[in-house]
Amino acid sequence: MSKYTIKATNQDVFVDSQARERRPYEGDLLVNGLTSYAVSSQYSLTRHSIDYCIDNPTWPEDYKLFNVEMAWMDYLYTGDATLLTARYDDLRVKFNRGKGKDSFDGASSDFVGTLRNGHGVDNFDDRVGLVTNDGLVDWPIRERDGYVSGEYNTPFNAVFFGNYQIMSKIAAVTGHQDDVSFFRNRAAEIKNQMIKRLYDSQSGKFHDSLKKDLSVNLHTSHHASAYALCYGVYEYEEMAARLSEYVANDGEFIGSVYFIYFMSKGLVDSGHADKAVDLLINPNNQENAKTFAAILDNLHATIAPEAWSNYYKPNLTLSHPWGATPGLVIIQGILGITPLKPGFKDFKIKIRPGTVNTLKAVVPTAKGIIRVSYNAASVVTTIVDIPMNTTAHLILPTESTEIKCDGIIQKSSVKELIVKSGRHKIVYSK
């Protein structure tokens, strides 16, 4: 479904939907672009859509920053820094305060002002160490799990934290050395203040927001903790585990079909991919269930829909790529196939199958096709095909024993196998 969604909805630019809102939205681009990377090595359309969104922003404040995120992903997948170099200043501006009278916020098709976002100053409040303003969080509004907005909002600050980190990397690649430490330090301050002011260590959850007087809005929506988990706002493994337990919600999705991107990515990146697997393969196909089983069996969907069903959004469209998250979660999350060096010169394979016993995937990259076959019978057998002129880092589970790579017994302490091009067979017990 995810792969066909990308095939059927890509036009001369990524669009929000075939039925309405026929233009790119930066938030949708996260799912559309990353799933495109999972199923195709043709990167020009993704780059064009990123470039288009830089000049044609949409109204949600957090969406502007997703432009920064996807520009960085373009570099990782293509190995080409052209976009980052050409648009550096415009990406930097995405961190500035928006919704001024003189700035375009995506609400008008005939606006002829500036793209420099209102006051043209940073959104960061250095008295507090957090950013002001808010973002989309989720849509429709009823899907936000009762989220309480304030002056300083947890989801919005989490997105800023993650993208300040990314902008620091972009600055390094493009030679803006003075900006590297600025963005890195800004990210560190936001993380520190989020944990200090918004994290509840007793419950293991993040509060939604701070009021203007810096008192806490005590409500703890899943969205606040999920965004924090997704962008790595935690200090140690136990904290990440407690956040993951809450975000995973006993194997049931919270929020919209779009929001599951942030849920799933946070669970995978924090080391809890098994919980993301449980969410994806939930077999409940009852009417209006928030599962992909229900989407496939009740909506009979071959393309990702805008919402779980008409119950959650009566005017839903049946052509919304922002629901194609399973594609990227399977390839980049469960199989863990991601570039370690730009352009896939070095890449990682880290299989985290949860309760799934067999996996097969064919993944196109800038360097060629990666093939992976995984079978967990009495022993685990993984066969990988590695493209020419690349190096693969196979990350094995910490509990793996009796490891063999191409018939050669490995030391028990070895949990990362580095292999070159060709076919390799890895066998181990767990």
Name the residue with higher pLDDT: 267 or 55. Answer: 267
What one-character DSSP code corresponds to residue 297? H
Rounded to two decimals, the pTM is: 0.94
Instruction: Tell me what pLDDT residue 430 has.
Output: 84
Instruction: Tell me what pLDDT residue 50 has.
Output: 96
What value does the mean pLDDT take over residues 91-108? 65
Instruction: Tell me what pLDDT residue 61 has.
Output: 86
Instruction: Tell me what pLDDT residue 120 has.
Output: 57
User: In the predicted model, what is the mean pLDDT of the chain?
Assistant: 93
What value does the mean pLDDT take over residues 185-191? 98
Instruction: Tell me what pLDDT residue 105 has.
Output: 52
What value does the mean pLDDT take over residues 59-65? 89
Paired with 199 in beta bridges are 206
Instruction: Tell me what pLDDT residue 142 has.
Output: 94
Instruction: Tell me what pLDDT residue 79 has.
Output: 96
First vs last Cα of the chain: how many Å apart? 32
Judged against a pLDDT cut of 80, whether residue 108 lies above it is answered with no
Instruction: Tell me what pLDDT residue 283 has.
Output: 96
> pLDDT exceeding 70 applies to what percent of the chain?
94
The three-state DSSP-derived secondary structure of 162-231 is HHHHHHHHHHHHHCCHHHHHHHHHHHHHHHHHHHHHHEECCCCEECCEECCCCCEECCCCHHHHHHHHHC
Cβ neighbours for 20, distance < 8 A, ≥ 6 positions apart: 317
What is the distance between the alpha carbons of residues 241 and 424, in angstroms, rounded to a whole number?
Answer: 33
Instruction: Tell me what pLDDT residue 20 has.
Output: 81
Pick from 96, 130, 133: which is nearest to 233 by CA? 130
Instruction: Tell me what pLDDT residue 114 has.
Output: 53
Instruction: Tell me what pLDDT residue 159 has.
Output: 97
Instruction: Tell me what pLDDT residue 231 has.
Output: 98
Instruction: Tell me what pLDDT residue 18 has.
Output: 83
Instruction: Tell me what pLDDT residue 96 has.
Output: 82
What is the distance between the alpha carbons of residues 395 and 409, in angstroms, rounded to a whole number?
Answer: 16
Instruction: Tell me what pLDDT residue 58 has.
Output: 85
What value does the mean pLDDT take over residues 396-414? 92
Judged against a pLDDT cut of 80, whether residue 367 lies above it is answered with yes
| Residue 346, number of CB atoms within 10 A of its CB | 15
- Residue pLDDT, tens place only, 189-209: 999 999 999 999 999 999 999
Strand blocks (E) in 55-134: 124-125, 130-131
- Residue pLDDT, tens place only, 281-301: 999 999 999 999 999 999 999
Judged against a pLDDT cut of 90, whether residue 110 lies above it is answered with no
What one-character DSSP code corresponds to residue 368? E
**Band of pLDDT at residue 23, cut at 50, 70 and 90:** confident
Instruction: Tell me what pLDDT residue 281 has.
Output: 96
Least confident of 97-106, 214-223, 314-323, 356-365: 97-106
